[in-house]
Amino acid sequence: MNDLGYPILTYDDAEVCYNCFYVKQIANGLNVKNGLLKLKTTHGYESIGDLMYIISAWKELDRGEPFSYDWPDATLDDIELHCINEARYWLYENYDFLQSIRKQLIHKR
């Protein structure tokens, strides 16, 4: 892959890059619930930070629970907004790493 101009990523780094696609959609309010569930089923919880707690909270609220211990201040009416905000925070937290990968890809062209 390096000969083709692509950086060699560890599994964890590649996972973060892949998750970025769905997290960006969520942060923009597109396919929020489906994107969140896709993140969980594709890679599990390790690389999505606190979004994992929102997945659990959303499921509890969907079942009719009055609140969730995983995200106590969320309600069924605003859980999507909590998810969007947390996705934006995830992008902020991973910004430097994602930019370094982007720069590697651009400079290799």
pLDDT tens per residue, range 53-76: 998 999 999 999 999 999 999 999
How far apart, in Å, do the first and last CA atoms of the chain sit?
13
Q: Compare 108 and 81 and report the one with higher pLDDT.
A: 81
Residue range 24-57, pLDDT digits in tens: 999 999 999 999 988 877 665 667 888 889 989 9
- CB count within 10 Å of CB 55 equals 20
What value does the mean pLDDT take over residues 1-20? 72
Helices 79-93 + 11-27 axis angle, to 10: 140
Question: Pseudo-torsion of CA 37, 38, 41, 43, nearest 10°?
Answer: -120
CA dist 25 to 66, 75, 88, Å? Answer: 28, 22, 10
